[in-house]
Amino acid sequence: MKICSSFFIGLLACWGVVAQSFQETEGGISATIDSIEVEIQFFKPDLVRVIKYPEGSSYKKESLSVIMDPEDVSFNTREKGDYVSLSSKDLEVLLDLRNGNITFKRLGGRVLLQEISASFVKFNDAGEDTYSVSQSFKLDPEEAIYGLGILQNGKMSQRNQEVKMIQGNTWDFVPFFQSVKGYGLFWDNYSPTTFRDNIERTQFESEVGDGIDYYFMDGGNSDGVIANMRHLTGEVPMFPLWTFGYWQSKERYKSQEETVGVVKKYRELNVPLDGIIQDWQYWGDNYHWNAMEFLNPNFPEPQKMIDQIHDLNAHIIISIWSSFGPETQPYKDLKAGNDLLEFQTWPLSGKDTWPPDMNYPSGVRVYDAYNPEARDIYWKYLRKGLYSLGIDGWWMDSTEPDHLEFKPEDLDIQTHLGSFRKVRNAYPVLSVGGVYKNQRQETSDKRVFILTRSAFAGQQRYGANTWSGDVTASWDALGEQIPAGLNFSLTGIPYWNTDIGGFFLSKFKDKLEDPEYRELYARWLQFAAFTPMMRSHGADAPREIYQFGKKGDDIYDALEKFINLRYSLLPYIYSSAWDITHNNSSMMRALVMDFLGDSKVHDLNDQYMFGKSILVAPVTRSMYTVNKSENFGEVKSKDIYLPAGAIWYDYWDERKFNGGKRIEKETPIDVMPLYVRAGSILPIGPKVQYATQHDWNNLEVKVYPGANGEFILYEDENDNYNYEDGAYSEIKFEWKDEQKQLIIHPRKGEFEGMLKERVFNIKLVGEKQGSTSKNIKYHGEKLQVDL
């Protein structure tokens, strides 16, 4: 451990003194080693906070991510030669009194993680003396690690790379990783941070930090680590049922007639749709950027537009930004409070032209979301101009925020919490959190739903679904979305999505007329059907289903098939959402989460589990139009790996396979490989045009034999917070494979409008004997069904 001070021409002088003692504190110990104060504190028996700062200074921080108060943890302290050991019922933490390095061990078991060295380099941050800080760790050579945020690098394991972590459009960063060994580490710092991993060390290095501050957690496995991360930074609320349907958007609908017309067209075609998104410029010109009111003359009756959409049994969310034009009321209020940040952001020009005409600078500025009073001003105008009209949710664009023509001195700008550099990466969690908190104070009758372009640790507590930004359409980009979404989920933030088809079509000169793009779009939509939000969006060409032909056309039929498939799985998806809220689970699950013992999946980046039953293997390469011809008649195939330790059923033809081997799956344009794990119980919902059109009175329940299993069907009132007070029901299905017996347990809980009587159509899936079905009337009492 060292303190370094720059002097003369970059020369560094370092000094140190070995500590001889330590002191016990309320939750751990403290010691002074090599002129560095070291504090170790148990937050839970398996969760530890580590703080380090130079001797003679002080360190106090109110975390922007951590909301957990330390528990009263029982632990023992004893000296072991040059070490002091702290032991809870789960962890042993060893502090080396010679150099201040810390080792984390599972109690009575293996070493999980070891520190190598820490560093403090004096730094002047916009006139304030502080430090640049780093901490290095030693990982096992073959140890896979996951997380760090949304990374467009195509990697599943994040070993052997260097990443500069500063929020951007398509790269969102969370300074957290978890290991295949079952532990996680959250680096609680908000300044630009570099993550490095090589054969020598794994390191976080941040530009600004009065001290080193991180949390080590041992979960035993990925789910346990994620649970600890959420205990630390916030639990996940339920999303409304309607958010899990299909969503249509584009850049942008230019009139209220066009917006409503899209919904009407879907209803005429009998293609399911739950929501429409109104993108930017409904406020008019760029000088009124993000006015949070309809000033565009093409939207003369916004209340009528919203009412028409609701009358069509659809929902609308609308684009709002982190910046304001100089002619808007929010801008004027924020400027009066010195709550605008003076750097260049989108749009640069007041004229809606490309390239920007800088003879007419827009004057648009980002607001200081670090100030709670500024967040309240933001909500005041959002409430007045849009929420009061009945808008259902918020598309919070540019929550990084957009920072154009970047200059290093921009980071010297003062925010409510200090320099922009000091708090740069936490902007998303504060801006999103301001809207969530204010709306929750408004009412509990409607759940908050936020679609946002950026995220930071703790954002899962704010009803937000993060999308992967303005990615350019290509097969490589499609493939990169899979590990991007999985690694983001592995940081503890479970809700993620992507622009179906990619945002920009610059690589496809003929846009929708290009056969290869039509193939790419179909494959992207198939993948999106198995993400937490299924949302079509993009620039350069419209993406509505009817832009891809008509019923009977190959691409159109493939799109319609997967939209309907999504709706059939809503009981499964909504129950999986409850598993997230109630049990700290995840919806998009890297295969290592459920098949840790199979080393072949530790770095597999193109397959995953959707919920705990369905294995998804998206097609991420052109099969039919590589030569720009449009021939979807020939059947192609994809190589699939089925993880060991399970029996698998092909979702489409119900063929059975043993795990631990690779197989070939035929993949015509309307088929994406899907496999269901033996022991799964899969509820299939009714055919609908929107999520709540029909209740779940007559569900098909598919049972996949070959292993014991269980599933909990969750239901509630769909769009309020009454579930927090117990207004929901659970029906547990338990499959006993040896007895070929399905037990439907007594219903637990109740809510207004709950089905008290219903029919379950039980279907036993099987390769040889065909399918066995039984219709069972269920009144809430225990039933035993022999199949």
**DSSP letters for 202-268:** EEEEES--SSEEEEEEE-SSHHHHHHHHHHHH---PPPPGGGGSEEE--S---SHHHHHHHHHHHHH
H/E stretch holding 518 reads helix 515-528
Reading the block at residue 126, the tokens are: 């916009």
The helix/strand/coil state of 277 is strand
Round to whole Å and give the CA distance between 239 and 76: 42
CB neighbours of residue 354 within 10 Å: 8
Active-site residue 400, yes or no?
A: yes
Can you say whether the dihedral through the CA atoms of 425, 426, 429, 432 is positive or negative?
Answer: negative
Round to whole Å and give the CA distance between 1 and 20: 15
Reading the block at residue 70, the tokens are: 């330390």
| Contact indicator for 219, 509 with CB cutoff of 8 Å | no
| Contact indicator for 717, 751 with CB cutoff of 8 Å | yes
**DSSP letters for 291-319:** -SS--STT-S-HHHHHHHHHHTT-EEEEE
Q: Give the Cα-Cα-Cα angle 150, 526, 697 (nearest 5 degrees).
A: 110
Active-site residue 96, yes or no?
A: no
Helix orientation angle between 427-442 and 372-385, rounded to the nearest 10 degrees: 50
* Closest among 341, 306, 302, 310 to 324, alpha carbons compared: 341
Can you say whether the dihedral through the CA atoms of 323, 327, 329, 333 is positive or negative?
Answer: positive
Q: How many residues does the chain have?
A: 787
**DSSP letters for 654-699:** --EEESSEEEEEE--TT---EEEETT-EEEEPPP-SSTTSS-STEE
| Contact indicator for 289, 669 with CB cutoff of 8 Å | no
Can you say whether the dihedral through the CA atoms of 353, 359, 360, 362 is positive or negative?
Answer: positive
* Closest among 710, 706, 709, 699 to 769, alpha carbons compared: 706
Active-site hit among 205, 210, 339, 400: 400
Helix orientation angle between 475-489 and 515-528, rounded to the nearest 10 degrees: 10
Give me the residues paired with residue 214 across strands: 50, 187
- With left for phi above 0 and alpha for psi between -120 and 50, is residue 355 left, alpha or beta? beta
Please state, in angstroms and as integers, the Cα–Cα distance from residue 565 to each residue in 560, 562, 654, 684, following that order.
8, 5, 16, 9
| Sequence-distant (≥ 6) Cβ neighbours of residue 257 within 8 angstroms | none
Q: Which amino acid is at 568?
A: S
Round to whole Å and give the CA distance between 592 and 604: 9
Active-site hit among 470, 540, 710, 737: 470
| Contact indicator for 586, 485 with CB cutoff of 8 Å | no
Active-site residue 55, yes or no?
A: no
Torsion angle, alpha carbons of 669, 673, 676, 677, to 10? 180
Round to whole Å and give the CA distance between 658 and 655: 10
* Closest among 784, 772, 719 to 746, alpha carbons compared: 784
Active-site hit among 188, 368, 397, 598: 397
Which of the 8 DSSP states describes residue 349?
B
| Contact indicator for 456, 429 with CB cutoff of 8 Å | yes
CB neighbours of residue 175 within 10 Å: 25
- Residues with active-site annotation: 397, 400, 470
